Amino acid sequence: MMSNNKFKILIVEDEANILSFIKANLEISDYQVICAETCALGMMMYASYHPDIIVLDLGLPDRDGLSLIQDVREADTVPIIVLSARSGEMDKVEALDLGANDYITKPFSLSVLLLKLMARIRAVLRSHRYSEKNEGNHIGKFQFQDLMIDYDKRQVLVDGKEIDLTQTEYNILTFLSIHAGKVLTYAAIIQAVWGYSDYGSVKKLQVNMKNIRKKMGVTPGEKRYIVNELGVGYRMLAEDEE
Ligand code: CA
């Protein structure tokens, strides 16, 4: 095969029009695409092709897509992006907590879906590579637009000016930046920053986040640097969106 060094993407999706549109476009972008229309077939393809990334629809004919996340996570850490027609926050939180890396709520337009998916694929592949190389060892710098985090000096600069963060605020921001592009649930951030899992701490996290954004010069509601995924968690931007 010519395509040995291409990124392999497994798409598990039962809607033929979505599947063929995404497949054709990802192939143009030089990804190798493997398709499955059911969970059972998805697991088979996963086992035989070892994809670099899995794009998973939740509403599948044989089983709930959530069960595939569980089965795959028992074996390895391959990034999983959930594609869902459901817009319920509990589904997103459940998918993320089961080990999905990201999710996209299916929009009306196929081209919007494709654009979002390609951005998430790039972000997931980037952060997956980063965490494999640098887990627990945040040497270097994070840079996005005019935001710069220097992990060695524990310095945060916006537009060249240092901003003064508390220890907790710095820890939250660093955790988000290490996983830039990925939605982190409230529970995951609280666990990483305070060391315990307590849903009651969401308020505390939100207060800290509000202060961080204010210090960064972001006005309420503005999608800059960090996106609030309502009812789910936060995501640090890794590339320009919308
Ligand atoms: Ca479906």
At 176 the three-state DSSP class reads helix
Quick one: pLDDT at residue 136?
47
Nearest to 192 by CA among 150, 234, 155: 234
How far does residue 14's CA lie from ligand 1's centre (Å)? 5
How far does residue 234's CA lie from ligand 1's centre (Å)? 26
How far does residue 70's CA lie from ligand 1's centre (Å)? 18
Per-residue pLDDT of the chain (242 residues; tens, 9 = 90+): 444 577 899 999 999 999 999 999 999 888 999 999 999 999 999 999 999 899 999 999 999 999 999 999 988 888 999 998 877 778 888 888 888 988 888 877 888 888 888 888 887 777 665 555 544 444 578 888 999 998 878 899 999 999 999 989 999 999 999 888 888 999 889 988 887 767 678 999 999 999 999 999 998 888 899 999 888 999 998 877 65
The CB density around residue 108, as the number of other CB atoms within 10 Å, is 6
How far does residue 149's CA lie from ligand 1's centre (Å)? 40
How far does residue 92's CA lie from ligand 1's centre (Å)? 16
DSSP assigned state of 146: T
How far does residue 58's CA lie from ligand 1's centre (Å)? 6
How far does residue 13's CA lie from ligand 1's centre (Å)? 6
How far does residue 37's CA lie from ligand 1's centre (Å)? 9
Task: Give the side-chain half-sphere CA count within 13 A for 221.
Answer: 0
How far does residue 106's CA lie from ligand 1's centre (Å)? 10
Nearest to 94 by CA among 116, 73, 122: 73
At 224 the three-state DSSP class reads coil
How far does residue 63's CA lie from ligand 1's centre (Å)? 11
**Which tokens sit at 82?**
């959930």
CA distance 240 to 224: 9
How far does residue 60's CA lie from ligand 1's centre (Å)? 5
How far does residue 137's CA lie from ligand 1's centre (Å)? 40
How far does residue 153's CA lie from ligand 1's centre (Å)? 47
How far does residue 48's CA lie from ligand 1's centre (Å)? 23
Are residues 30 and 6 in contact, defined by beta-carbon separation less than 8 angstroms?
Answer: yes
